[in-house]
Amino acid sequence: MPNTRWVAGISLVLGPALLLAGVLLRVRFAFFFPDQLAAYDDHPMLMTASYSAFVAGTVALAPGVLALTRLIGTQMAGLAGTLVTLGLFTRTFHAGADHMAFQLVDAQGRITATQAVAASYQGFHIFHYTTFAIMLGWPLLAFAAYRTRTLGPVSSVALALTAALPLGVLKGTTPLSMVATAGLCLAFVPLGLRMLLSAPRPSIPRLAALTAAAVALGYVSSLG
């Protein structure tokens, strides 16, 4: 299916690139949440761009992960793809908490926001029980891809490194963050480009119409 191939290819290229951009944009700030809130207070546009790129990349990865799972075609890949997708959902939940914390900085100030986050950081939520999927899913998917020769040994190891990406609410950038997102780029971007180059070229008028419709729908959605 040409359309499916285009969606998968774009996902495999755009998702990792956005994640890498997100972690690099906040690389100069300390890792833990008080420092992230302080960074947002001092540099709101930069931190908004960083966290927005990261969550957009997280969501954009989903079609590519599904496509790779189907390409591998084994039961192990199916399990791995499910775990990775669950991990992406978990990171999206964390992004919602990040957004609310930043809004508290705007509404009530850095000190109050920091106190609120500190008081609620260990509060119960269902996604406490799914963080294992983030750490287990990527190595399992990488092993399944290597075992079936869908990815080579270097790309498979690079994909497995994605498990090292720190998880949780208001997490900054560490060397492991850069290694993990760079590894994801190394594993996924070449595969995505191959899919895009092998897919039939889309109709330019149709592509323009779909893009315009997507922009219009996005604008209307933002009004609600």
Q: Which of 114, 113, 116 is nearest to 103 (CA)?
A: 113
Neighbours of 123 (CB within 10 A): 8
pTM of the full structure: 0.94
Helices (H), the chain: 2-25, 33-42, 44-72, 75-108, 110-120, 131-147, 153-160, 175-198, 204-222
Read off the pLDDT of each residue in 27-53 and give the average, rounded to a whole number.
97
**Lowest pLDDT segment from 48-57, 133-142, 197-206:** 197-206
Read off the pLDDT of each residue in 64-70 and give the average, rounded to a whole number.
97
